[in-house]
Amino acid sequence: MADTDTLNIDCIIQRPLKVRGSKPDFKACREKEAGCRETRNTSERMKWLVWVLLLCSSVMAQQHRDSTLDHHWNLWKKTYGKQYQEQNEEVARRLIWEKNLKTVMLHNLEHSMGMHSYDLGMNHLGDMTSEEVITLMSSLRVPSQWQRNVTYKSNPNQKLPDSLDWREKGCVTEVKYQGSCGACWAFSAVGALEAQVKLKTGKLVSLSAQNLVDCSNEKYGNKGCNGGFMTEAFQYIIDNNGIDSEASYPYKAMDEKCQYDAKNRAATCSRYIELPFGSEDALKEAVANKGPVSVAIDARHSSFFLYRSGVYYDPLCTQAVNHGVLVIGYGNLNGRDYWLVKNRSIT
């Protein structure tokens, strides 16, 4: 939009929500081994012992691999373009992959017997641990002194649609690439604002998550690729009187110097509204009446990053939120209520 145009746009945020519906540092390991070899007080005999132990460990790891899965391992690597710099790394990744594969197979067996409402798949994250995925994907920094300012006015007597998908109304942009930058909070925020711009102007425009990563900085408690929070992103947009478009300020998946240019402003935000803590009734009403809503969830479980289809539900989910996403709808499948959630790709 033109620089002089200012829309009275409300952005809505909710946390936490139960969604239903770090690489091993091989360089550090090598440096540690080098440091051991260079220790002045270590004898040559001890050096040989270290190398023998390392060799034995590698051989033992090789022996624990299931050789019957060699073909499937190579097929999976080819499918997702996986390449490893060192043999030790491939061995470690293979063992993680086999563990995740077992998790997927057992879960899907239980799913076939009606024990779960969703199934899992060996996607591009199949050679990573839950801790690594959390490091890449989950980077919320909930303000330590955050006081929820609940201003949303509920109408409990209102009849809401049984199901809703804002994609059908053209209010949701494509799933975006997050990479190894902890910018989930930025993507969640721009997703909510993109929908509001569409509802106000009739135009769906991708907004710049990189603008938030670079410019919504420590003044707002955000730390770029090291994490942030959606309310602070909205506050930056309000204070800055705008945010640039994705086309003019593309995503780089890394921290850079702020390059906001008011000439490329694509949206503004007049205020944001917070929903009552953990209220799914209020969330449903807000999604139905206002549009997609930024939410925070617990995404620390392998069932989350290996999810393939169905209504996701993990009883281990807590209110310890660590990941920002966008609720774009809701519905019911086979008697189970669900939220329709937009996430990002991280690799």
Which residues participate in catalysis according to the annotation?
184, 323, 343
Report residue 321 as tokens.
């939120």
**Residues 295, 189: Cα–Cα separation, whole Å:** 9
* Residue 223 CB neighbour total at 10 angstroms: 16
CB neighbours (10 Å) of residue 89? Answer: 16
Please give the Cα distance from 90 to 13 (Å, whole number): 41
Residue 203 neighbours by CB distance under 10 Å: 11
Q: What tokens were used for 254?
A: 């890394």
d(CA 92, CA 268): 47
Rounded CA-CA distance 95/74 in Å is 13
Instruction: Tell me how far CA of residue 19 lies from CA of 317, 327, 329, in angstroms.
Output: 8, 9, 12
Query: Are 341 and 118 contacting, i.e. CB atoms less than 8 angstroms apart?
Result: no
φ, ψ dihedrals at 144, nearest 5°: -65, -30
**How many CB atoms neighbour CB 72 within 10 A?**
14
